[in-house]
Structure 1
Amino acid sequence: MAGNVPPVADERDGLLRFLEQQRHVLKVAAHGLTDDQARLTPTKSALSVGGLVKHVASTEDGWLDILLQRPQKPFDEAMADYRSGYRLGPEETLESVLKRYDEVAARTAEVIAGIDDLGRPVPVPKGVPWYPQDVEAWSVRWVLLHLIEETARHAGHADIIREHIDGGTAIPLMAAAEGWPENGWIKPWTPQPA
């Protein structure tokens, strides 16, 4: 996938393609990292590239459960998952969280394909402190827009963290991940000797 979303057929196609693009640029920030590098937190924040991929996959999957009106986890369990969701655990690999993210993306495509009306209401879970209590429902469209926003925010975080790890920046990393040839404008990222 190149740096821009191709022309879209309609609203649904556009929303899914822009979400796909943001997922892609987040994964590009992880390109070429080792598991140890994916765990690094080189800035003042506790965020790591691997943890961000894990978090965004979990968040997208959770929004699908809300959209499908599946029962939510008890608050204490949800908070424990949230806290551990930003860290790539010692038993986890970057490859495993990237694979899970791809599985979640496929689930999103399948679920959205089965919904005729993007305006369909999605009831707001009640009693959850981070959801508005004065809103009865979002729409499927709103959920997709929110997922694009959430993914884009964390893709930006991952870009900053990656640059702190080894100097890799978005366009050279994308060129490397996608196999672009070197030209006068861009030199694809390559690992630097230690």
Structure 2
Amino acid sequence: MPAHVPPIADEREGLLAYLAQQRQALRATAHGLTEQQARTAPTASALSIGGLIKHAARCEAGWTDLVLQRQRGPQRAADEDDSAEFALTERETLAGVLDAYAAAARETDAVVAAVADLGQAVPVPRGLPWFPAEVENWSVRWVLLHLIEETSRHGGHADIIRETIDGATLFPLLAAAERWPDPWFEPWQPPAAD
């Protein structure tokens, strides 16, 4: 996908296109990373690119579950604490979390395509302090806007982490990952081995 969303025909197509663009930007931050680099948390926070992608996949799957009013069961191990949500375990790989993220994206896109009205009510979960107690329902439209917000926020985190790891920035990474023809940006290349 180019760096800009193509022209859109309607609201649904626009929301899905902007979500896809933000997903691609987040995925691009992982382009060319080793497993060790994907686990690295080189900034003041404990965030890593692999952990951010893992979180984005789980988050998107959770919101799709809310739209469907489906109980999938725990998205993480019973002994996993909140900070592990943003880190890869020894059993997890970058390829695995990228695959999970792609699967979550496909499901979200399919669910939204099947919704007749983006104003369809999505019940607000109860008993969680970060959800407003005074709001009964969101809409599918609200969920999509929230996913765009959440994905872009974590994409920004990943941009900073990636630049800290090896100096790579988004447009050269996109040019390399997508093989842009005649790019304005020199495509990112792995550093030469010493």
Q: Give your verdict on TM over 0.5.
A: yes
- Residue 147 (structure 1) aligned with residue 147 (structure 2): yes
- Residue 186 (structure 1) aligned with residue 188 (structure 2): no
What are the within-5 Å matches in structure 2 for residues 30-109 of structure 1?
30-71=30-71, 80=80, 82-109=82-109
* Identical aligned residues as a percent: 58
Q: Distance in 2 between matches of 1:67 and 1:6?
A: 26
Q: Which amino acid aligns with 2:192?
A: P
Q: Distance in 2 between matches of 1:157 and 1:79?
A: 26
TM-score (norm 2): 0.93
SS of residue in 2 equivalent to 1:24: helix
Q: Distance in 1 between matches of 2:178 and 2:6?
A: 16
Q: Distance in 2 between matches of 1:21 and 1:78?
A: 33
Aligned to 2:132: 132
Aligned to 2:174: 174
State the 1:110 CA deviation.
1.1
Q: Which amino acid aligns with 2:189?
A: T
SS of residue in 1 equivalent to 2:122: strand
SS of residue in 2 equivalent to 1:116: coil
Alpha carbon RMSD of aligned pairs, Å? 1.9
* Residues 1:193 and 1:23: Cα distance change in structure 2 (over 3 Å): same
* Residues 1:77 and 1:189: Cα distance change in structure 2 (over 3 Å): closer
State the 1:159 CA deviation.
0.4
Q: Distance in 2 between matches of 1:147 and 1:85?
A: 17
Q: Which amino acid aligns with 1:14?
A: G
1:182–1:188: 8 Å Cα contact kept in structure 2?
no
Could you tell me which runs of 5 or more consecutive residues in structure 2 were left unpaired when the two chains were aligned: none
State the 1:181 CA deviation.
4.1
TM-score (norm 1): 0.93
Aligned to 2:7: 7
* Residues 1:72 and 1:110: Cα distance change in structure 2 (over 3 Å): closer
State the 1:83 CA deviation.
2.9
* Residues 1:136 and 1:181: Cα distance change in structure 2 (over 3 Å): same
State the 1:91 CA deviation.
1.3
